[in-house]
């Protein structure tokens, strides 16, 4: 329901300039000119709204989920690009040239000089910007370098586009529309200021310290943070946070990780972190006591508040992190609904919290299914990958169609699991998932 509200709000924002322009009193022009202006306005409105779809605003990603927010951001960036690229080619009226029937030149674009140049700059930079975003790992050595360039680049393009729109745009000569464009542009810039200045300021007042770092499994670490002088984080099991360890709160060095502890375990936050790149491969050498900052909680992959008769969890590798939080919270709540966890790993050495899972599996309502693709000779559990047939065997009973399912792991596993569950008749709204990469 909140998702529908957000879509309505989004459409309201991006269509508002077009609506205002349509109610304006400018004399009519050839249809293609109107279309050109309309596409330009729509492209700019979408570009400005992209700032709010960065995934860092809890009101949005907490309602529809991080995956949907980011996929929406990526899809709309491409839409904006297409609209903006087409925009100048549709004009039929010559730029600034007087025509006999239009002595006051109201039917053509005026002030082409600088305003046209800023439009051209935005028009050239936008495709470069989108292409760089698509190939960011090839262009930037670090994710942080890309983040910086992405934020600054977006602000620069929006600045050029704003100047072009309010000076060259025929409809923006209406003070109301000009004011709306400026207000939307300011909101976009404020959203950057919020993420990079205001929120770090708030975080600096709520520091954390590394309480423990220990090996959890092969190339996987348990990192425990404790709050310093404050009550900690108010979150729901299954959510995640951006964590910054050992840098200033204003630094771009922060990474998203699911919270593996449960809200019921007061105080500390626990993360299960797999070695991957620059930051995570150093995680084992972080010193106890190092200062840390948390931006969270984010995400909507939580079973709290869902009244489904049972819960199916499907995790691959480090995708177990949010599941541990969910399992711990269900246990703490004394929730007696049936729960089945399917947990896939390459080898038994990679199983995180094996003892806890074994203990939980002794509860009458909890079933833990380990799946290992490269098992030792004495392995007793399921073998291979988390396949469609395994999911069908475990969740295919009609009584499990109304369960709530939570998926987290490698993208291929998640796609397969989701398709299989949908094929079993599970409603899309009963499937929650979180991807660990948006590339
Ligand atoms: C919602 C979410 C939850 C996650 N939970 C876990 C978890 O519980 N345990 C775990 O081991 N891993 C988790 N990850 C993955 C983890 O964030 C990356 O493995 C980690 O950030 C890699 O950082 P790096 O510096 O080691 O590698 P890099 O080489 O710097 O980054 C590798 C990739 O990680 C991603 N990444 C890096 N930094 C960021 C960032 N600031 N914002 C978004 N994506 C970034 C990008 O896809 C990037 O291409 C999660 C990711 C997401 C999006």
Q: Can you read off the two tokens belonging to residue 164?
A: 């072009």
DSSP structure string for 373-414: SS--TT--SEESS--HHHHHHHH-SGGGTTSEEEEES-HHHH
254 lines ligand 1 (CB under 6 A): yes
pLDDT for 110? 53
- Give yes or no for a cis peptide into 297 (omega within 30° of 0): yes
Alpha-carbon span 223 to 308, nearest angstrom: 32
| 407, β-bridge pairs | 314, 433
CA 415-418-420 angle, to 5 degrees, is: 105
439 lines ligand 1 (CB under 6 A): yes
Closest by Cα among 330, 319, 191 to 257: 319
CA 439 to ligand 1: nearest atom = 47
CA 258 to ligand 1: nearest atom = 8
Q: How far is the CA of 149 from the centre of ligand 1 (A)?
A: 18
Alpha-carbon span 369 to 352, nearest angstrom: 13
pLDDT for 254? 94
Among 277, 353, 434, the mutation site with the greatest number of ligand 1 atoms within 8 A of its Cβ is: 277
Atom 52 in ligand 1: residue holding the nearest Cα:
436
Alpha-carbon span 177 to 179, nearest angstrom: 5
Atom 42 in ligand 1: residue holding the nearest Cα:
255
Q: Is 195 exposed, middle or buried (0-12, 13-18, 19+ CB in 10 A)?
A: middle
pLDDT for 173? 84
pLDDT for 380? 86
pLDDT for 61? 86
Closest by Cα among 106, 105, 120, 104 to 163: 120
| Segments in the chain below pLDDT 70 | 94-112, 439
pLDDT for 91? 86
Alpha-carbon span 235 to 254, nearest angstrom: 19
CA 80-1-5 angle, to 5 degrees, is: 45
- The total of other beta-carbon atoms located within 10 Å of residue 336's CB is 11
pLDDT for 205? 96
pLDDT for 101? 65
* Model pTM score: 0.91
pLDDT for 62? 84
**For every residue of 327-351, which 3-state class applies, written as one string?**
HHHHHHHCCCCCEEEEEEECCHHHC
345 lines ligand 1 (CB under 6 A): no
Closest by Cα among 70, 66, 56 to 252: 56
Q: How far is the CA of 26 from the centre of ligand 1 (A)?
A: 50
217 lines ligand 1 (CB under 6 A): no
CA 437 to ligand 1: nearest atom = 47
pLDDT for 338? 97
pLDDT for 96? 57
> In angstroms, how far is CA 223 from the centroid of its own chain?
23
Alpha-carbon span 213 to 223, nearest angstrom: 5
Among 437, 438, 439, the mutation site with the greatest number of ligand 1 atoms within 8 A of its Cβ is: 437
135 lines ligand 1 (CB under 6 A): no
């Amino acid at each position: 329901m909140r998702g529908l509200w957000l879509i309505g709000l989004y459409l309201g924002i991006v269509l508002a300039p077009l609506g205002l322009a349509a109610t304006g009193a400018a004399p009519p022009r050839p249809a293609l000119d109107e279309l050109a202006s309309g596409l330009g306005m729509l492209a700019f409105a979408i570009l400005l709204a992209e700032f709010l779809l960065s995934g860092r605003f809890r009101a949005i990603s907490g309602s529809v989920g991080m995956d949907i927010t980011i996929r929406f951001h990526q899809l709309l960036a491409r839409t904006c690009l297409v609209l903006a690229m087409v925009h100048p080619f549709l004009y039929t009226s010559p730029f600034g040239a007087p025509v006999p029937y239009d002595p006051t030149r109201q039917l053509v674009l005026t002030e082409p000089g600088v305003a046209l140049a800023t439009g051209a700059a935005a028009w050239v930079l936008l495709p470069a910007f989108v292409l760089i975003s698509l190939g960011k790992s090839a262009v930037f050595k670090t994710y942080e370098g890309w983040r910086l360039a992405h934020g600054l680049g977006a602000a620069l393009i929006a600045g050029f586009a704003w100047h072009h729109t309010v000076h060259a745009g025929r409809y923006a000569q209406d003070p109301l529309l000009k004011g709306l464009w400026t207000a939307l542009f300011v909101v976009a810039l404020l959203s950057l200021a919020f993420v990079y200045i205001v929120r770090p300021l708030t975080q600096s007042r709520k520091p954390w310290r590394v309480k423990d770092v220990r090996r959890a499994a092969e190339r996987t670490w348990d990192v425990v943070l404790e709050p310093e002088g404050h009550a900690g984080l108010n979150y729901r099991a299954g959510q995640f946070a951006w964590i910054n360890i050992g840098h200033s709160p204003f630094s771009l060095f922060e990474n998203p990780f699911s919270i593996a502890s449960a809200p019921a375990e007061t105080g500390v936050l626990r993360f299960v972190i797999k070695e991957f790149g620059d930051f995570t491969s150093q995680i084992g050498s972080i010193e106890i006591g190092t200062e840390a900052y948390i931006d969270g909680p984010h995400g909507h992959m939580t079973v709290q508040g869902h009244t489904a008769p049972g819960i199916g969890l499907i995790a691959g590798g480090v995708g177990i992190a949010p599941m541990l939080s969910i399992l711990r919270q269900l246990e703490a709540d004394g929730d007696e609904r049936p729960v089945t966890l399917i947990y896939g790993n390459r080898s038994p050495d990679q199983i995180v919290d094996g003892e806890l899972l074994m203990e939980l599996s002794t509860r009458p309502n909890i079933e833990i299914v380990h799946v290992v693709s490269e098992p030792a000779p004495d392995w007793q559990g399921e073998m291979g990958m988390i396949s469609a047939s395994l999911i069908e065997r475990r969740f295919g009973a009609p009584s499990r169609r109304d369960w709530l399912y939570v998926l987290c792991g490698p993208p291929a596993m998640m796609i397969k699991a989701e398709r299989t569950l949908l094929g079993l008749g599970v409603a899309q709204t009963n499937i929650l998932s979180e991807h660990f990469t948006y590339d």
